[in-house]
Amino acid sequence: MKTSLNIFICLISILNSSCETEFSHVYVISNETSYLIKIIGFDKIQTSIQETDSMYYETIEIAPNSKFQVFKQAGYHSQTQGVFEAPEIDSIEILFDKKRRITFSCNKPSGRSCAGKYNLMNIEENYEKTKIGKSSGKDEYSFTYTFTEDDFENASAIE
């Protein structure tokens, strides 16, 4: 009887795992400027689950005229979607060769909820969405945010 139960459990596990839908999206930040871009994402209102005394942050650096990209699994066992690892990122600082700066701050638990041109967490409003394929019957997309020389010119000078 115990053997039959084990076989039944194994069959259910196999059927369950074969029905999982897994697909991925790619998130790209394109630097079309002649400046090194450093993006620092913060959990300013400290909703991060990490037990530390300091503010949680992540850093992305993109060389001039190049791209940063990250693939994220979607569907079953999905990862946090977007360029940052933590969903708690609510504010960012964008530095152009440490000469100019753009800041964006959101006073909500997730930066995805706020509007603003430089909100890199708000994928739906600020990224160009392009279908790149299909996997497990689901569409896969590339989401691209582009920095241009105009963004550098519109940034505040660092004194």
On whether the CB atoms of residues 30 and 147 are closer than 8 A, the answer is yes
Show the domain range for 74.
21-157
Residues 9-63: tens digit of each pLDDT: 544 544 444 455 676 788 899 999 999 999 998 887 665 445 455 556 789 999 9
**Domain assignment present for 9:** no
Residues 135-155: tens digit of each pLDDT: 777 788 888 999 999 999 999
Residues 81-114: tens digit of each pLDDT: 677 877 778 888 999 999 999 998 887 666 666 7
**Domain assignment present for 143:** yes
Q: What is the pTM of this model?
A: 0.75
On whether the CB atoms of residues 96 and 33 are closer than 8 A, the answer is yes
Domain count, the chain: 1
Cα–Cα dist 10/4, whole Å: 10
